Chain A
Amino acid sequence: MNAQLLQPAFVDPVLDAQRGFRAALKALAEPGLIQHLPSAPRLDGLAPATYALCLALLDVDTPLWLAPSFDTPLIRANLAFHCGCPLTARREEAAFALLGGPDLLDLGGFDHGNDRYPDQSCTLLVQLTDLEAGRGLSWRGPGIKDQRQVNLPVPQVFWLERQRREAFPRGLDVLFAAGHHLIGLPRSTRIAEERA
């Protein structure tokens, strides 16, 4: 590991990690509602919210799969140092995966959990440039009173890929992050086209 690449992470490791964890919990409890993470550190290539999620969620027990666009020496060194998480090249081994917008076209290979242990599925951390610049879709399901309109700028193929892999209780949970904000998309949320 190259010590020159290391950078400071959370200013207050305990409380900032708890804030990140809390934001992730809220994001998955209220799908589609934007959560704010003001005190996140910066790292080249990772948005503050993405990095804060990594620092809060990853540790030695969570193998991480990195999309090629995030697989830089800087990100590798800092994640290895601050999180201590093993990096894996095999999607099926990963407990977490870090993806960009273009990587959403193919979700093959990730662990969906099994009927007895659906919690063992892989959680996707997806970094986008914006959370509100896409086509409006209406989300329904647990955590949403009636329906909620969400404008995530993700390719249409992603929704098909996600639907194909839904076999409740198995499935994939996704956390979308951009800048200091994040949105959760648990497996239980149902997506419908917004009616014009």
Chain B
Amino acid sequence: MNPSKRQHWIGVLARARLSELQPHEAALRDVDYQLIRAPEIGMTLVRGRMGGNGAAFNVGEMSVTRCVVRLADGRTGYSYLAGRDKVHAELAALADAHLQGAQPSIWLSDLILSLANAQAERRAQKEADTAATKVEFFTLVRGEN
């Protein structure tokens, strides 16, 4: 499945760290907006499939924070993110609202691109660390015969 542009930036905002969003806080909050759904913390059930295609089973519950804001011009921004960070949820929802505006390219280049790069870097680092621990198992002689 190919995620839409909006799916992509909402995902990037949800995975971002609060410390990466905070430099943009002043710009994000520099509009008239109201909270349609003030940031709230809840629980959601995570389900998984063994191997990605087996029968669904419940992995466990995780805490989720969500928020919906509306700017004065009617644009509505949503955010759902893992964890309990209400400030992060509000900033992410504001960013989603700004990105739906007439000039999303500024926000895309300023904010989303740098966040996505930082995330790709962290992920590559983690993958490299994990790859170093990989163990290959060989069967030299089988027991039969």
* Residue ranges of A at the interface with B (Cβ–Cβ < 8 Å): 3-4, 6-9, 13, 81-82
Contact = CB atoms under 8 A, between A and B. Distances in A.
B40 interface: yes
B36 A8 contact: yes
A4 B35 contact: no
Contacts of B70: 3, 6
Interface of B is mostly: strand
A13 B40 contact: yes
Most buried by B among A3, A7, A8, A9: A3
A8 B34 contact: yes
Nearest to B100: A3
A97 to B, nearest CB: 26
Contact of A7 (B36, B38, B40, B74): B36
B130 to A, nearest CB: 39
B76 interface: yes
Interface in B30-86: 34-38, 40, 68, 70, 74, 76
Contacts of B37: 8-9, 81-82
A6 B74 contact: no
B35 A3 contact: no
A13 B38 contact: yes
Given A4-B74, A6-B76, 7 more contacts: A6-B70, A7-B36, A8-B34, A8-B36, A9-B37, A13-B38, A81-B37
A4 B35 CA distance: 13
A7 B70 CA distance: 9
Nearest to B97: A3
Nearest to A11: B38
Contacts of B34: 8
17 contacts: A3-B70, A3-B76, A4-B74, A4-B76, A6-B36, A6-B70, A6-B76, A7-B36, A8-B34, A8-B35, A8-B36, A8-B37, A8-B38, A9-B37, A13-B38, A81-B36, A82-B37
Contacts of A8: 34-38
Contacts of A9: 37
Nearest to A7: B36
A7 B74 CA distance: 11
A7 B38 CA distance: 11
Contacts of B36: 6-8, 81
A3 B77 CA distance: 9
A6 B76 CA distance: 9
Contacts of A4: 74, 76
A8 B69 CA distance: 9
B101 to A, nearest CB: 14
Contacts of A13: 38, 40
